[in-house]
Structure 1
Amino acid sequence: MAVSTTTVEEHRTEAPPSLLHQPKAVWAVAFASVIAFMGIGLVDPILKPIGEQLDASPSQVSLLFTSYMLVTGVAMLVTGVVSSRIGAKKTLLLGLGIIVVFSALAGSSGTINEIVGFRAGWGLGNALFIATALAAIVGAASGGVARAIILYEAALGIGIAIGPLAGGVLGNISWRAPFFGVAALMAVAFILIVILLPSAPAPEHKTSITAPFKALRHRGLLTVAITALLYNYGFFTLLAYTPFPLDMGAYAIGFIFFGWGLALAVSSVFLAPRLQKRFGTLPTMMAALALFAADLATMAVFTNSKPTLIVCVVLAGLFLGVNNTLITETVMISAPVERSTASAAYSFVRFVGGAAAPWLAGKLGESNVHAPFWVGAVCTLVAVLVLSTGRKVLAHVDDHDPAPHSADEAAAVTAGSD
């Protein structure tokens, strides 16, 4: 009996702490992460109401995505420079403060051009925040890096899923309400991080702004970045243009894209690792992108069928979730450079290069409702071809453990997430 008791006690001692048993600082950053990622799909349900009330065309309204993406992409080049000089906590607070100001200004706007401009400012704040959030969670979490990443991925998935839903509920009141809602929630997150997240000394190593450009000399990283640029065209065509042919209320659009976000979250966390283990990283990515291209082509053929569009939007979440997870992991090991540098280079190419997609989709849709989906499908198919050319230079991706092993490396993952 004594031996048995001792064994049980030893087992209890060695048992890892609960995933949910985390310091308050971790939950403060996780909460802010949920709100930050809500911003991706928050405006989806209110695109049409904004266009109607401010007398703006679909292409003009789609600039809300274009300005956001363009500034986010460019800002990714400087997030490492900033955080390596002022530290993670100050970078998080700077990003949150910028989001609070510009989301509130967007809600107070009187013209479409003002909203577009304020969304650009929002993109700067979001880049500073998301590029630093995971590093902060890793630094404060208990249970190791792997558990911290699970918490972050959960926050990301929740934010992407409930963003459109919150936008639909608040947008049903007024198109201004989602913007003010984000400002209020981010202000709460700002206060929580000020109080709960311990300050840390600025890192000794300072990142150079030229490092991401030098990293793109590596063919493997460049191949993945161009692949992401091309499929991002299809991704943001789906996100920014689909509400117009659906022609439904903010509440309905919110629920539809909630289904999309939920499918994306589930497939990125649960489905992607299983498929990767069974079929390999590159084959799984190419299959997911090919299925997404087929999905967009179906939307192009049946643009006038709302049930078809709804089903295709939700299915797209499954394909995008798998691809997003695997392409982010591939970026981390695609070139012999620091992971944060690789991620900054990759994010710059895919965001800046794909920033024109929402505007172009809206412009094409004004002449032909089917054209945006066709172009998105073709771009995504070309992404498959580009990725296939990198089979040799990326053959090593399944021979490595892509999970980051330090707080600095972990921070790189965030910049590669959608």
Structure 2
Amino acid sequence: MTEEALKAHNQSAKQPIVVWVIFIATIISFMGLGLVDPILPAIAEKLHATPSQVSLLFSSYNLITGVAMLITGVVSSRIGVKWTLLSGIFLIVIFSALAGSSNGIWGVVSFRGGWGLGNSLFIATALSAIVGLSVGGTAKAIILYEAAIGLGISVGPLLGGELGSISWRGPFYGVSVLMIIAFLALLLKMPKVAKPKTKSSVLDPLKALKFPGLFRLGLTAFLYNIGFFTLMAFAPFVMGLHEHGLGFVFLGWGLCLAFTSVFVAPKIQAKFGTIKSMCAMLTLFALTLLAMGIWTDSSTVVIVCVIIAGLFLGTNNTLITTAVMEVAPVERATASAAYSFVRFIGGAIGPWLANKLAETFNPHIPFYSGAIFVLIAMLVVAFGRKHLAHVDRVAH
């Protein structure tokens, strides 16, 4: 570990206990994203569904998560951070268990939407809570948050593969049990955080998008997430692996994502600046998707590309989240909700579009399409420098 990384590690270790409780709960929450990856082919087989229908597990989850981001500030400003987090976790517990109990694809898709509602209440509030309660500055708090995301996403597929090898229902019940543990931990350990003096409106996140910098970052994430979820929701269908194998591939992907989000992103940002670094990562991710499109018939190439993509995704996630927290003169929770609203809409379109393109044309096209969207995202950042330049001056 380098001297800078060690220093950052020592700084993060001094965080209040409540920050670590939220950190662990965030890990468990984001397990839900990657947990279903290893079981997508199994669900399609068991429930007699097409890949595009199964992809709606991501689409319904992301769509409801994105739209519900508009109400997260309304809820948290009225019932407080603690009870908003607990409400979100409670909904995840209920709807993940209901999804596991479903006997048809549309039931699973619908309950994943309810799961997305709980997820939105939790993740938007968790980010602002970690930033607000942690010590060491915004950048370090976001690195901690991104580390939790990376760990959750990396461990999720492994757990999903293990439980999914028993039954496709196992991962859904697994999330429900883990979130019960997170609920109890937050209930017991998190103090009551003072409510904001001003109550938020549903329109606040939409109004925040009038700031050019925040709008550009939201649009960037919208486009980039189409490519992101092309990888997440379509790649499992062309790898030719069973639940265990898919679990290990996405474990490798998630570990790469977690490592770069914590250790690589801050160094690249410090050396090259946020804008140049984001453009480089988006370009590399687009090239990775392009390679997957060219060599779709080679499961080895697809597997290696999925894992390598984690390196670029982890770095970019930290860079863009840090920028969002600083780019607009609004409360961080509002900025996060506005950005997430746009971002998750892209995450809803990506999975369905990728699988539909494969069914309509051939399995190469989704990766080409994803690469184009990510490349456009890079151009949005590159041509928006004047609206984003001040981010590098405040990021430290």
**Following TM superposition, where does structure 1 have runs of at least 4 consecutive aligned residues deviating by more than 6 angstroms?**
142-147
CA–CA distance in structure 2, aligned partners of residues 143 and 352 of structure 1:
32
Q: 2:257 maps to what in 1?
A: 264
CA–CA distance in structure 2, aligned partners of residues 296 and 201 of structure 1:
45
Q: 1:237 maps to what in 2?
A: 230
Q: 1:89 maps to what in 2?
A: 82
Deviations 1:221-279 (A, max 9, x none): 21111111111110000000000011210010010001111101111111111111111
1:145 to partner: Cα distance: 6.6
CA–CA distance in structure 2, aligned partners of residues 354 and 150 of structure 1:
22
Which of residues 35, 40, 49 in structure 1 aligns to 2:28? 35
Q: 2:166 maps to what in 1?
A: 173
CA–CA distance in structure 1, aligned partners of residues 173 and 91 of structure 2:
14
Could you tell me the TM-score, scaled by structure 1's length? 0.88
CA–CA distance in structure 2, aligned partners of residues 51 and 98 of structure 1:
25
Which of residues 270, 274, 280 in structure 1 aligns to 2:273? 280
Overall identity of the aligned pairs, in %: 59
Is 1:381 the counterpart of 2:375? The answer is yes
1:149 to partner: Cα distance: 4.9
CA–CA distance in structure 2, aligned partners of residues 349 and 380 of structure 1:
15
Deviations 1:314-349 (A, max 9, x none): 111111111111111222222232222222111111
CA–CA distance in structure 2, aligned partners of residues 254 and 370 of structure 1:
23
Q: Which moved more, 1:25-34 or 1:164-173?
A: 25-34
Q: 2:389 maps to what in 1?
A: 395
Residue 240 of structure 2 aligns with an amino acid whose one-letter code is D
Is 1:349 the counterpart of 2:342? The answer is yes
Which of residues 100, 104, 107 in structure 2 aligns to 1:111? 104
Is 1:371 the counterpart of 2:365? The answer is yes
CA–CA distance in structure 2, aligned partners of residues 35 and 277 of structure 1:
30
Which of residues 120, 125, 136 in structure 2 aligns to 1:127? 120
Residue 103 of structure 1 aligns with an amino acid whose one-letter code is S
Contact 1:88–1:135 (CA under 8 A) maintained in structure 2: no
Q: 1:190 maps to what in 2?
A: 183
1:333 is paired with a residue whose SS is helix
Contact 1:364–1:372 (CA under 8 A) maintained in structure 2: yes
Residue 87 of structure 2 aligns with an amino acid whose one-letter code is L
1:202 is paired with a residue whose SS is coil
Q: Which moved more, 1:381-390 or 1:254-263?
A: 381-390
1:355 is paired with a residue whose SS is helix
> Closer, same or farther in 2 for the Cα pair 1:218/1:138, shift >3 Å?
closer
Residue 398 of structure 1 aligns with an amino acid whose one-letter code is D
1:155 to partner: Cα distance: 2.3
Paired residues in the alignment total: 387
1:109 is paired with a residue whose SS is coil
1:161 to partner: Cα distance: 1.1
Radius of gyration: which is bigger? 1
Is 1:252 the counterpart of 2:245? The answer is yes
CA–CA distance in structure 2, aligned partners of residues 268 and 28 of structure 1:
20
Could you tell me the TM-score, scaled by structure 2's length? 0.92
Deviations 1:88-119 (A, max 9, x none): 11111100110000000000000000000000
Which of residues 56, 61, 65 in structure 2 aligns to 1:68? 61
**Structure 1: gaps (5+ residues):** 1-15, 403-418
**Structure 2: gaps (5+ residues):** 1-8
1:31 to partner: Cα distance: 2.2
Contact 2:161–2:245 (CA under 8 A) maintained in structure 1: yes
CA–CA distance in structure 1, aligned partners of residues 73 and 59 of structure 2:
23
> Closer, same or farther in 2 for the Cα pair 1:138/1:295, shift >3 Å?
closer
Contact 1:89–1:136 (CA under 8 A) maintained in structure 2: no
Which of residues 47, 72, 78 in structure 2 aligns to 1:79? 72
Q: 1:324 maps to what in 2?
A: 317
Contact 1:17–1:143 (CA under 8 A) maintained in structure 2: no
Q: Which moved more, 1:205-214 or 1:89-98?
A: 205-214
CA–CA distance in structure 1, aligned partners of residues 130 and 277 of structure 2:
29
CA–CA distance in structure 1, aligned partners of residues 208 and 140 of structure 2:
29
CA–CA distance in structure 1, aligned partners of residues 324 and 12 of structure 2:
27
